Structure formats: structure tokens, C-alpha cells
Amino acid sequence: MKTTESHTNLTASASASPNPEISPNSDPFADAKILIDSHDSALGLHIRELWSFRELLLFLTWRDIKLRYKQTALGATWVIIQPLFAMLLFTLFFGKLARMPSDNVPYPLFAYAGLVPWTFFSNAITNSGHSLVGNANLISKVYFPRIYIPAGAVGAGILDFAIAALLLVPMLFYYKVALTWQLLLMPMFAGLATALALAVGMWLAALNVKYRDIRYAIPFLVQLWLFASPVIYPASLVPAKWKWVLAINPMTGVIEGFRSSVLGTPLDAATILTSVVVTLIILIFSFVAFRRVEDSFADVV
Amino acid sequence: MKPIIAVEGLGKRYRLGGQTHNSLRDAVASIVRAPLKRFRSSSSPKTLWALKDVSFEVAPGEVVGIIGRNGAGKSTLLKILSQITRPTTGRVALNGRVGSLLEVGTGFHSELTGRENVFLNGAILGMTRAEIQRKFDEIVSFAETEQFLDTPVKHYSSGMTVRLAFAVAAHLEPEILIIDEVLTIGDVEFQKKCLGKMDEVTRAGRTVLFVSHDLNSVNAICERALLLHEGQIVKSGVTADVTRYYLDHSNSMFSPITWSTRPDAEAKEIQLNSISAWQNGMATSAINCREPFTIHVDYVINDPVRGSRFYLVFRDEHGEIIFTTSDYDVMTSEAMTRRPGRFISRVEIPGGLLKEGAYYASLGVDVRDNPKLVFAADDALHFDVFEPEDDIQAGRHKRAGGIAPLLNWEISEISLGK
């Protein structure tokens, strides 16, 4: 909501009020704390409001984590099972049968290091994509910055991400891969993955409110995106001439960067930089897009 | 004094059907058709003004009641004030934090425990963690749910859930508190406690907007009231005046259709004026399920009609027919002739029969000798049935079946057990 608006037709509102205590000289709209206006022309980003509700993000994240672990029999085990089984399958079909190159890293380790950020990303966009529709009763009953709903769904995935990443430690020992200083960059790539998941998830969530087809489109999108990202194959497989095409997909930078920081393989600065820029563009785009439609969620959800 | 709430020219338009695309295919199809659409001016979407040109002001510390029948625009007004939806026209200035109790228990998750829900619900309502922690004991003792704190809410009775939810919201301490219909739920003891809490809240200088069907509680706690009808304020002022006005005009306000203007040729013999639901001597659309209530049908017979039958069909919110009744129940002959004049037919529906929920009654009149339907008004009356108690009988609303009658079970001992 906008903060100030000076011009007002006072006589209309004052005459409608039978309360004598209100003097018609004070303009209630001049410096209202909250102003709800039918035309919200200025596309304010309401940072202050987001800040005042900041704890809600933690609570929603915590709720999503709690519910998932309460409602599943295997709980945290799923977090490992998902990338682990994908790794086993990929190793069998792509590593052993198709003899996919893996930048001189044992294929299982190569695949798992890519699957950890990928699994986080795909789950995060799926969960946040469904989050607004899944919380319809909340949206139609209480006001709070709606952005925290898809953000909480992404946030809940971070714990899974960390647990799945821990399994890399015994794997690195097993394959005798030495850790390098590059490991310090890992949180940065995890952060990039989170930012991208938030950007995509937020946008999908907003679209899903209006177009319920998105529900069917998300699994399809996730599947296509997996093959468009260097999870199964290394980015080095793509001819240098076409490398930029791969780099436009910001997951390329996330996966390659995450993998390099863990395995100590060379980092490709150009690809990573491209991914950072693309992620920021998508993030800004979907933040603005989300704010534009946020007010109508309660009417359509 | 500067008003804490100022509302100016507020309006909210909803589109009915059409227009909102629920699938991408429709959206794409409408883009394709869009260039053609401009030429077909008649196919403009149907719209409904749920709220129209509403202006009022509230001074700090005032307790204002908002009354009106279902669909009068109360909920829409509250939704705009609590920022859930944006108005189509006009604006609102709020000079303080708004806490809304639009539906208690919003955000309560059945899998989470009472304790977890208090924190989550508090955060959703805008409280900080420190704030919730500080008031936690007070909230829990107010709700009287201490021993169930670590039990998932799914094992709570509905009354317990409501108590806990109300307790959280009541301790929010916003400058402006918006309350919708909470007091119709929960047991009588707890309702008293809620009223007491609201009294305390207002004595602390907070402003309250209170929406209710229950005119008695509006009278008890509000100094001032607004009466909404068809999206507009038709009366505002001292509560007693507004509620009296409401009761005086309730006949016309409770009937969504004024049938006297119906130009239907077949309806010439019988003209229906209105239909309304009454309980405890008041026209109301909130029915206490434990008590009997009456449906009043006000009509005029212009010419003697032979063999006519009045019937009412009651449907639930899903459109399922719950039961049908007709005034043949009390007639001795099917061929009875109705004299000209103005009449009111009253039919009493016993208490302890209907489940809680929303109901729609359709009214029809047919004539035995004339197979042409004389009159039918679908969903002419809407009312809500609520459960006032939180006892063992309140569980019957969850039973299978369209109705949940309270029946007299006789248990007699045949032989002595050991």
C-alpha cells in the first residue's frame, strides 16, 4: 500500500460520519500509516513491510520442514534417497553403459555432486510452485506479504540440501579426492541455487494461482531442465562455440560451480558470471511480476 | 480527533463467471478471440458490485458494529480493510496496526501441536517471536488448553481449536481489531469470556470493528453501528437505532427478491411478497441448530385458486437437497380453494435436526389442476445454521447423512449384568 496522498475530498467522508468527535479539518489520508488505494500506480517494493514480517519467513520455513517430517514415514531419509538413487541410475546408464565423460572425476561422485544442487532446485521450484494454491485458505483470510509463502517453501529445502551435501564427505574420502580452498566457495553456489529457485518458484506460484495448468507443467519443466543442465554430462562436453547457450541456463553455473568447489576442479568464471547475471535478472523480473499480481490472489485463488 | 480508520468511496467489483481464465488454454483462446470481441459490445462480462461507494470514519477507541444480511458486503468490506483484497474504487487510511479475526484458526495446521500453532498463527497475524513468547502463558491459560499443548490440533475438539485461535488473535494487541462472527462459535461460557476480553481490549483504547449476525452481541458491545445492504451503507449511527431500523426493515432486507414486481403472467393469481427465516422472534439468517426456527412466506392471493400447493426445497451449500416440505402436510383435501387476501404461511423446522452449514431454500407454488408451474424462486432464502455448544452432541455434525437429528434413545436394562 502507498504511504501518502495529499488531495482528498473531505466533505464527502466527513458528512457520512455521524461521529462528532472527528473534526473535518484533519485529513486522515495525508499521513496515514497504511493507505489502501484502488490505484496503486507506484510499484513500491514495500521493503519496510517485508522487514517487519521477516520472522514469518522463518516460521513458514519451519512449518514446511516440520510438516514434511511429521507426515512422512522415512522423514529425512528421503533427502538422501532421492539423489542417491538418481546417482546409482545415472552411474549405471550414463557412466557405465554410455561411458559419459566426467572431467576425470569418478562418475558416481561427479553425478552426485551435480545431483545435490539439482535435487534441491527441482524440489524447491516444485514445492514453491504449488505453495500459493496449497495455502489458499491462508491467503483468503489473513494479510501478510505473500512472497513469504513461496520463499518459505524454498527455505524448507535448504535443510535437505545441507543433509544431502553431507553425504559428499564420505564419498570424497572413498574416492580419495582432496579438498581444496575452493570448498569455501560452496556456500556461494548454494546461495545462487537458492536465489534462482526463489525466482523461478515465485513466478510459477503466481502463475499457478491463475492458471491451474501450471501444476501439470511443472514436472515437465523440471524434466526438461534437468537435461538442459550439466548434471548427467559435464559442461565441457558442449563445443566451445555453443558454451554460451548452456551458460544462459543459470543452473549451469550453479551445478558446475558447486561441483568444482567440492571436487576442486577448475572453475569457469565466464559461465558462472553469466549465471549470476541471468539469475539476478530473473529474480528482479519475478519479484516485480509477483508484486503486480499479489493483490488479486485472494480474489482468484 | 483524527480518525483511526477513514474510508472514502470504497467499492469492490467482482466479475461473475467468464473472464477469469482458469486454464492457459482459455487465456490463449481469449487472446485469439480478443480482436473480434471489441465489436461485440453486448458480450461484456457480468459484474457484481459487492461494495459500492462506502464512506465512513472511525475514531480511535470506538467499537463499531457492522450488520447486514448475508451478501450485504460485510465480508468484502472487512477483506479490504484487512488488506486481503484491493478495492476497485476509493481508498482507506488506517492509522495503526490491523489485526483481523476474519476466521479464527486461519493458518492452524492440524498436524502441528497447539504450541506450534500458537507461534505460527501469531507470526501470520503479525506478531514477533519475542511478543508471542511474552504472551504465551496468557494465551494458553485464556484458551484453557494447557494440558493439550503438545498434542496435534487434529485431536482437539472444534471448540478447543476455536478457543486457542481466538486467544492468539485476542492477544495480538493491534490498534485496530477486526472481528467477524467469532462469537457465534464456542460454548456460551467461552463466548462470555470473549466478550469480556473484547471489553478489555476496547478499554485499553483499541478500536474494534465487529461484524455479526447476532444483534444482541452487537447491541451489547458496540456504541455505533453501520448497516450494510446490497453493498451500501443504508443506516449508521447509535447501535440501538441501527439495529431497530434493521429489524423494522428486515422483511425487505431478508428477501433477496421483491416478487410483487414480477411481470410473470402465470403469477397473477398468487403474488409472493417475501420469504424470511425467524428464530426467537427475530428475522435472522443465523440459525442456532438446537432451537426450532420458522420460515415465513408472505404472499397475496388475487383470485381464488383451487388445489394449489406451496413447497419449500432446502439445499445445502453443495446444492444437495436436504429435504422438501409442502403445506399439503396440514391440508385435508388436495382440492382446497384458497381465498383472496394477503397471507403469511409459517412453517416451523424443529431444532436439533439440521447440520451446521449454509442452506438455501427454494420456494415453489404449483396447482394440481393446472400443470403449468405457477411460481418458483430458486435459492430465494439463504441462512446459516450454527452450533452454539461444545458438548458431546456437537459431534453429530460430523456424522454421515444429510441431516443430524437429535433423537430420543431409550436405553432400558433387560437383565442384570455381573
Give how far B21 is from chain A: nearest CA, Å.
7
pLDDT for residue B164: 85
Give yes or no for a contact between B223 and B198, defined as CB atoms under 8 angstroms apart.
no
Measured from the Cβ of residue B188, the count of other Cβ atoms closer than 10 Å reads 10
Question: Between A23, A36, A299, which is nearest B83 by CB?
Answer: A36
Residue A129 in this model has a pLDDT that exceeds 90: yes
Q: Would the CB atoms of B23 and A66 count as touching at under 8 Å? A: no
Give yes or no for a contact between B55 and B11, defined as CB atoms under 8 angstroms apart.
no
Q: Would the CB atoms of A34 and B80 count as touching at under 8 Å? A: no
Closest chain B CA to residue A62: B120
CA distances from B345 to A85, B299, B328, B348 (A): 72, 8, 12, 10
The SS3 call for residue B18 is coil
Dihedral over Cα of B293, B299, B301, B306: its sign: negative
B25 touches chain A (CB under 8 A): yes
The SS3 call for residue B288 is strand
- Among A223, A249, A221, A222, smallest CA distance to A235 is for A249
Longest dimension (CA), chain A: 86
Q: Would the CB atoms of B8 and A13 count as touching at under 8 Å? A: yes
Cell numbers 565466464: residue: A270
Measured from the Cβ of residue B281, the count of other Cβ atoms closer than 10 Å reads 8
Measured from the Cβ of residue B134, the count of other Cβ atoms closer than 10 Å reads 12
pLDDT for residue A40: 62
Closest chain A CA to residue B237: A18
The SS3 call for residue A148 is helix
pLDDT for residue B391: 81
Neighbouring-strand partners of residue B300: B271, B342
Q: Would the CB atoms of B57 and A8 count as touching at under 8 Å? A: no
The model's confidence at residue A33, banded by pLDDT at 50, 70 and 90, is confident
Can you tell me the distance from the alpha carbon of A238 to that of A232, in angstroms, rounded to the nearest whole number?
13
Q: Would the CB atoms of B59 and A22 count as touching at under 8 Å? A: yes
Give yes or no for a contact between A131 and A205, defined as CB atoms under 8 angstroms apart.
yes
The SS3 call for residue B202 is helix
Q: What is the mean pLDDT of each run of 10 residues along chain B (418 residues)?
A: 88 67 57 46 61 91 84 84 88 85 69 89 85 91 86 83 81 80 59 73 80 75 89 90 78 47 53 82 81 89 82 82 89 78 91 88 79 68 81 85 90 82
Q: Residues with Cβ < 8 Å from A210, sequence gap 6 or more?
A: A293, A300, B20, B21, B22
Can you tell me the distance from the alpha carbon of B415 to that of B124, in angstroms, rounded to the nearest whole number?
58
- Among A246, A140, A255, A153, smallest CA distance to A204 is for A153
Query: Which residues of chain A are within 8 Å of residue B89 when distances are taken between CB atoms?
Result: 38
Residue A14 in this model has a pLDDT that exceeds 60: no
Q: Would the CB atoms of B24 and A38 count as touching at under 8 Å? A: no
Tens-digit pLDDT profile for residues A173-229: 999 888 889 999 999 999 999 999 999 999 999 999 988 888 899 999 999 999 999
Q: Which long-range contacts (CB under 8 A, 24 or more apart) does A160-166 make?
A: A160/A76, A160/A79, A160/A119, A160/A120, A160/A123, A161/A116, A161/A117, A161/A119, A161/A120, A161/A190, A161/A193, A163/A76, A163/A79, A163/A80, A164/A79, A164/A80, A164/A82, A164/A83, A164/A116, A164/A119, A164/A120, A165/A116, A165/A190
Query: Which residues of chain A are within 8 Å of residue B1 when distances are taken between CB atoms?
Result: 21-23, 26
- What is the DSSP code (8-state) at residue B293? E
Which element (helix H / strand E) includes B235? strand B232-238
Residue A16 in this model has a pLDDT that exceeds 90: no
Query: Which residues of chain A are within 8 Å of residue B13 when distances are taken between CB atoms?
Result: none
Which element (helix H / strand E) includes A12? helix A10-16
Of A162 and B163, the one with more pLDDT = A162
The SS3 call for residue B69 is coil
Q: Helix crossing, A107-134 with A77-90: angle to 10°?
A: 130
The model's confidence at residue A9, banded by pLDDT at 50, 70 and 90, is very low
> Which amino acid does the sequence have at A37?
D
B128 touches chain A (CB under 8 A): yes
Closest chain A CA to residue B131: A55
Q: Would the CB atoms of A141 and B84 count as touching at under 8 Å? A: yes
**Residues A184, A193, A223, A216, Cα dihedral to 10°:** 160
Within chain A, strands assigned E span: 34-37
B233 touches chain A (CB under 8 A): yes
Cβ burial A219-252 (10 Å sphere, 16+ → b, else e):
eebbeebbeebbbbbbbbebeeeebeebbebbbb
Q: Would the CB atoms of A5 and B91 count as touching at under 8 Å? A: yes
Can you tell me the distance from the alpha carbon of B102 to that of B80, in angstroms, rounded to the nearest whole number?
11
Query: Which residues of chain B are within 8 Å of residue A52 when distances are taken between CB atoms?
Result: 126
Tens-digit pLDDT profile for residues A69-106: 877 777 778 888 888 899 899 999 988 888 888 888 89
B72-91 residues touching A, CB cutoff 8 A: 79-91
Give how far A79 is from chain B: nearest CA, Å.
21
B123 touches chain A (CB under 8 A): yes
Q: Would the CB atoms of B93 and A29 count as touching at under 8 Å? A: yes
Give yes or no for a contact between A278 and A248, defined as CB atoms under 8 angstroms apart.
yes
Give how far B249 is from chain A: nearest CA, Å.
21
User: In this predicted complex, what is the ipTM?
Assistant: 0.75
